[in-house]
Chain A
Amino acid sequence: MSAALAVAWQRLLGAAWGGRGATLCRGLRTGPQRLQDLAEAAAAKEAENQSATDLSPLILQRNSMRWDGKIYEEIPIAHIKATYNNTHIQVVSFDNRPFARTSCGTEGFQNAKKGTAIAAQTAAMAAAAKARGKGVLHVRVMVKGLGPGRKAAIKGLTMGGLEVISITDNTPVPHNGCRPRKARRM
């Protein structure tokens, strides 16, 4: 019953994220607190790998950590879409106001050179510079796709001066949705 309430809370907050900010943030924390306990085992598997520093309380402590006085849910997000031929980077605030948008193509690379790690790194550095110009310091990264620019873009963001506080993988995995294109070299 309470789990259903928590799910209802998430849907409400997913729909009404922008205008309500702080008040709903407080409500949001009670909902996902339960889910954080449940998902802690799944999402914090690195606790077993990093024996020196215990990471599983870090997920629970995340609600008490502050970056420049901001809570985790208010820090801007850097979306990185790493396709096989290109890499797009967009830095957005938590209520979807855009800060910076770059891609390998906007940095002057063309065709095959866009699908390289170096291009992704330069694009990320440019995006980081633009975001710094608008006053962004900390950023949480959401990566989508498996491409050559996946790791290089995160590195470029740190080299460009933004501080990455968390990395999320948002690669779309269909539960048998659309049929992909046919296999190559028939």
Chain B
Amino acid sequence: MANHLRFLGRTVMVQNGNVEAAYSALNRILSHDGLVEVVRRRRYYEKPCRRRQRLAYEACRRVYNAEMGRKIGFLARGSRQDPWPGC
């Protein structure tokens, strides 16, 4: 970020002296943007073989969680008008 304006990105203004809320907002933004885990991961070097394993694991996990979420949402739907559609 050295070539960018210093106080433009990753800045949170403090409202009404509420520093805690501002800090938690900043943390939420950073973790939502994935910066926190990137910094933590870069602390030690991650070899290419480990990196490939991790990416494959994360992709599988993403697919699995999405499908499981879909299944749970399907099974947990309530207040249906016709509980036996098609019969």
Given contacts A35-B8, A36-B8, A58-B13, contact A167 B39 (CB under 8 A): no
Asked whether B17 lies within 8 Å of A46 as measured between CB atoms, the reply is: no
- B39 and A171 contacting across the interface, CB-CB below 8 Å: yes
Q: Does residue A5 face the partner (Cβ distance < 8 Å to B)?
A: no
Let me know if B63 is at the binding interface, CB within 8 A: no
- Interface pick from B18-26, B54-62, B64-72, B77-85: B18-26
CB distance from A179 to the nearest CB of B (A): 6
Give 1 or 0 for each of A23-47: 1 = CB within 8 Å of chain B CB: 0000000001001100100110110
B interface residues, how many (CB within 8 angstroms):
37
Q: Are A62 and B13 in contact (CB under 8 A)?
A: yes
Q: Give the Cβ gap from A28 to chain B, nearest Cβ, in Å.
A: 9
B35:A179 contact, CB within 8 angstroms: no
CB within 8 Å of A: which residues of B? 1, 3-15, 17, 19-20, 22-23, 25-26, 28-30, 32, 35-36, 38-40, 42-47, 50
What are 26 A-B residue pairs whose CB atoms fall within 8 Å in the complex? A11-B3, A35-B5, A39-B9, A43-B10, A45-B32, A49-B25, A59-B13, A62-B13, A146-B39, A146-B40, A151-B23, A154-B19, A154-B23, A155-B20, A158-B19, A163-B17, A166-B14, A166-B22, A169-B11, A169-B26, A170-B6, A179-B45, A180-B44, A180-B45, A181-B44, A181-B45
Q: A55-B13, A151-B23, A181-B45 are in contact. List 19 more A-B contacts (CB 8 A).
A: A11-B3, A14-B5, A46-B12, A49-B25, A53-B15, A55-B15, A140-B7, A142-B6, A146-B39, A164-B19, A166-B7, A166-B12, A166-B13, A169-B10, A169-B35, A172-B1, A173-B35, A174-B42, A183-B45
